[in-house]
């Protein structure tokens, strides 16, 4: 007699549903990474890059807040350079006393994850504001460059929104790494632009100097030749010269100057 086999149990169905959700989450993360890479590749200006990353993360997780902070070189101040909820905020100096979780991430170089912001003792001073915004969790992922934290990505979820999982935190760490590389490339690009501008300015000044030297030499030879041929100058000589002739001589002079300056 054939052996009867039992169908999938409720536990099997739960595990299958959980696996499907994990795969869907991984798919969303991969799509977000691709979109971020595409937008990063389309710009070499760090302000545009930071705002694009903040917007993508905010949209991907439906966040209450997603901000990117960069530390100043002295390490004493931090600036808000991009914000998902208010894209108009740029280069705003923040008080780290209001953000102990941000300070901790920058000082330690490690991700700070607060699953329940309302009950965390370090956030007691802003508990009322967090309750008003219905904040659930806070995640701060440092942006590191050469083993030093140069900034951080700050993410805040709604209380009635989806939970921030370990996979989500890992994903944000990947984005932080991409952000550091994008900042490095943008820094190199802006430094090259600055050097190109300095070189162009230097070359322009050198050309002007050569033209001045050529002008002095040309006028000196011209006056010597004229004085030897015509004798002392008189106002009558200038009066007899037509305006058209003077303009023609000026044009010829400037052409000779440019040629002599280029040859030096």
Collect all residues with Cβ–Cβ distance below 8 Å to 258 and sequence separation of at least 6.
211
| The predicted structure's pLDDT at residue 5 | 57
pTM as predicted: 0.63
Say if residue 153's pLDDT is above 90: yes
Q: What pLDDT does 138 receive?
A: 92
Q: How far apart are CA 251 and CA 245, in angstroms?
A: 10
- The dihedral built from the CA positions of residue 176, 182, 185 and 186, taken in this order, carries a sign that is negative
pLDDT at 145 exceeding the cut of 50: yes
pLDDT in tens, 43-60: 667 778 888 889 888 888
Of 33-42, 117-126, 189-198, least confident by mean pLDDT is 189-198
Examine the pLDDT at 238 and tell me if it is beyond 50. no
Is residue 210 pLDDT above 80, yes or no? Answer: no
Q: For residue 261, give every residue at least 6 positions away whose Cβ sits within 8 Å of its Cβ, in sequence order, or none.
A: 207, 210, 211, 213, 214
pLDDT attached to residue 223: 56
CA 132 from chain centre, in angstroms, equals: 32
> CA 50, 55, 57 angle in degrees (round to 5)?
95
Superfamily of domain 14-189: GAF domain (3.30.450.40)
Residue 109's pLDDT is 92
Rounded mean pLDDT of 236-262?
A: 60
Nearest CA among 58, 66, 65, 69 for reference residue 91: 69
Predicted confidence (pLDDT) per residue in 61-111, tens digit: 888 889 999 988 766 789 999 999 888 888 889 888 888 899 999 999 999
Q: How far apart are CA 135 and CA 142, in angstroms?
A: 21
Residue 176 parent element (H or E): helix 166-230
DSSP label of 145: E
Which whole number is the average pLDDT over 213-240? 56
pLDDT score recorded for residue 59: 86
Residue 138 β-bridge partners = 114, 156
Q: Where are the domains of the chain?
A: 14-189, 197-263
Res 182: pLDDT:
80
Least confident interval from 9-13, 36-40, 133-137, 195-199: 195-199
| Secondary structure class of 156 (helix, strand, coil) | strand
Mean pLDDT of 194-203: 58
pLDDT at res. 110: 93
- Rounded to whole angstroms, the Cα distance separating 82 from 71 reads 13
């Amino acid at each position: 007699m054939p052996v009867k086999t039992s169908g999938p149990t409720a536990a099997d169905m739960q595990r299958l549903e959980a696996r499907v959700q994990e795969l869907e989450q991984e798919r969303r993360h991969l799509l977000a990474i691709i979109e971020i890479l595409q937008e990063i590749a389309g710009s070499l200006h760090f302000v545009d890059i930071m705002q694009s990353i903040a917007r993508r993360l905010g949209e991907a997780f439906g966040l209450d807040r997603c901000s990117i902070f960069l530390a100043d070189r002295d390490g004493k101040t931090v600036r808000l350079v991009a914000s998902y909820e208010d894209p108009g905020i740029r280069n705003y100096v923040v008080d780290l006393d209001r953000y102990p979780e941000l300070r901790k991430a920058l000082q330690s170089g490690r991700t700070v994850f607060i699953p329940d912001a309302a009950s965390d003792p370090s956030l007691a001073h802003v508990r009322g504001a967090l309750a008003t915004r219905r904040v659930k969790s806070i995640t701060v992922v440092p942006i590191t460059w050469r083993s030093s934290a140069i900034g951080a990505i700050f993410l805040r979820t709604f209380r009635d929104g989806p939970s921030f999982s370990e996979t989500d935190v890992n994903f944000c760490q990947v984005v932080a790494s991409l952000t550091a590389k994008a900042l490095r490339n943008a820094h190199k690009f802006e430094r090259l632009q600055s050097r190109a501008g300095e070189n162009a300015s230097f070359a322009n000044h050198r050309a002007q100097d050569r033209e001045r030297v050529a002008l002095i030499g040309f006028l000196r030879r011209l006056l010597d030749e004229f004085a030897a041929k015509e004798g002392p100058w008189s106002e009558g000589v200038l009066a007899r010269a037509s305006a058209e002739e003077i303009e023609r001589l000026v044009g010829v002079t400037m052409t000779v100057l440019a040629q002599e300056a280029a040859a030096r």
